[in-house]
Structure 1
Amino acid sequence: MRRHAAALAALFVGLIVVVAPATPASAHTKLAKAVPAAKASVTKPISAVTLTFSGLIKQAGTKVEVIGADGDDYRTGDAEALDKTITAPVSPLPLGAVTVRWETVSADGHTIKGEYAFSNKAQPPVATTPPASPSAAPSVVPSAAVEPSAAAAVVPISSESGVSTGVIAAVIAVVGVVVAGLVGLVWWRRRPNG
């Protein structure tokens, strides 16, 4: 009887030694935390979705989709896995339900995946374009176009004749005096002798 009891006790201890280490090893890595969290209501714009797992994960095989209420994927780049965390950059999200679908590989080589949803209540930023100023451009362009033509009208005369504008003014003044003198002379000769 004692032999049977001792054998049963040894068998029981042996089972405990074999099964106990296997229990933690068989526990698979799982999603521990998400930002934004499942069922959360987001009120400020976000630039990334972050997933934290209970164990180490691998970059190879890691995929994330961030699907807006319109059915489009709002990721702006590949998801990056580092240690226990995946970060997926996103563009501004539309209002409404957003679904996050993820897939990765745990350190023990098992593929794990899942999805969850949150609600986006943050208005996407409105794209702003600088106001056009059509009145400023035309006022500058015509004046620039007129000035060269005015300069072209004056400069060729002096450059082609080789005479400065001061000399031209002096010649015009001399011609004016000569013409006035001739007119005066003609008038003086035609006046009646008194």
Structure 2
Amino acid sequence: MTRNRLLTAAAALLVSMLVIVPPASPASAHTELSRTSPAARSTVGKAVAAVTLTFSGLIKKSGTSVVVTGPDNVSYSDAEAQVLDKTITQKVKPLPVGAITVAWRTVSTDGHTIKGTFTFKNRFAAPTPTAEPTPAAEPTPTADPTTPSAASPAAAGDTDDDGGSPTLWWAVILGAVLAVAVLVGLLLRRRRPTDT
């Protein structure tokens, strides 16, 4: 009989403990940073266009900020951080070579503020922008050497070097020939014997 009472008391004690101390539910856990890209304490050898932070739970855009600084203590964050569900994406300008520090802050859906920092090493040197070549000036148009000008002899008139035209010379020669022919005709007429 005593044994049964002990077993009953032990069972009652176990049930009471389960009721008083319920198991922790996932909803009661705080949101935490799960992973980052680039990974914390990693070394990257290619260009980084953005830093991504992924959390274990949903986060709010309000109150979220990400500051990415280089070894020169200059901020390389480009525009505001973008929040989507559990992920924060922060675009960055070309990063310098050396240790890069990421300081972040956000708010979980239960209103709890969480923040932290991590670092990674950048070995990729962004190429220095070169000045674009200046277009060559177009040459100033010059007068066409083959085009006769107003002062050229060809524009003044089609005359020969001796000042006369070929048509005029042919008229003079033809006139001289006709004059000789008339003169010869007159001479022959005077020499013809008269009929008796």
- Same fold per TM (> 0.5)? yes
**Could you list the runs of 5+ residues in structure 1 that have no partner in the other structure?**
159-164, 182-194
**Could you list the runs of 5+ residues in structure 2 that have no partner in the other structure?**
169-196
Higher normalized helix content (fraction of residues): 1
Identity %: 44
Match for residue 139 of structure 2 among 138, 141, 150? 141
Report matched runs for 1:89-128 at 5 Å. 89-128=91-130
Computed over aligned residues only, the root mean square deviation of the Cα atoms, in angstroms, reads 3.1
Q: Distance in 1 between matches of 2:12 and 2:45?
A: 65
Match for residue 69 of structure 2 among 63, 67, 70? 67
Match for residue 169 of structure 1 among 138, 157, 166? 157
- Kindly state the Cα deviation for residue 103 of structure 1 after the two structures are TM-superposed: 0.5
- Kindly state the Cα deviation for residue 79 of structure 1 after the two structures are TM-superposed: 0.5
Rg comparison, structure with higher value: 2
Q: Cα–Cα, structure 1 residues 123 and 167, in superposed 2: closer, same or farther, change >3 Å?
A: closer
Match for residue 16 of structure 2 among 7, 11, 14? 11
Counterpart contact for 1:92–1:125, Cα < 8 Å: no
Q: Distance in 2 between matches of 1:167 and 1:92?
A: 69
Partner of 1:190: none
TM-score by length of 1: 0.69
Q: Distance in 2 between matches of 1:40 and 1:111?
A: 26
Q: Cα–Cα, structure 1 residues 5 and 131, in superposed 2: closer, same or farther, change >3 Å?
A: same
Q: Distance in 2 between matches of 1:57 and 1:36?
A: 20
> Secondary structure at 1:91's aligned position in 2?
coil
- Kindly state the Cα deviation for residue 58 of structure 1 after the two structures are TM-superposed: 1.0
- Kindly state the Cα deviation for residue 77 of structure 1 after the two structures are TM-superposed: 1.2
Question: Which runs of at least 4 in structure 1 moved beyond 4 Å after TM superposition?
Answer: 1-7, 172-175
Q: Distance in 1 between matches of 2:65 and 2:160?
A: 92
Partner of 1:192: none
- Kindly state the Cα deviation for residue 24 of structure 1 after the two structures are TM-superposed: 3.0
Partner of 1:35: 37
Partner of 1:45: 47
Counterpart contact for 1:33–1:52, Cα < 8 Å: yes
TM-score by length of 2: 0.68
Structure 2 counterpart of 1:169, one-letter code: G
Q: Distance in 2 between matches of 1:67 and 1:177?
A: 94
Q: Distance in 1 between matches of 2:118 and 2:155?
A: 91
Q: Cα–Cα, structure 1 residues 113 and 147, in superposed 2: closer, same or farther, change >3 Å?
A: farther
- Kindly state the Cα deviation for residue 176 of structure 1 after the two structures are TM-superposed: 2.3
- Kindly state the Cα deviation for residue 43 of structure 1 after the two structures are TM-superposed: 0.5
Partner of 2:23: 20
Count the aligned residue pairs. Answer: 158
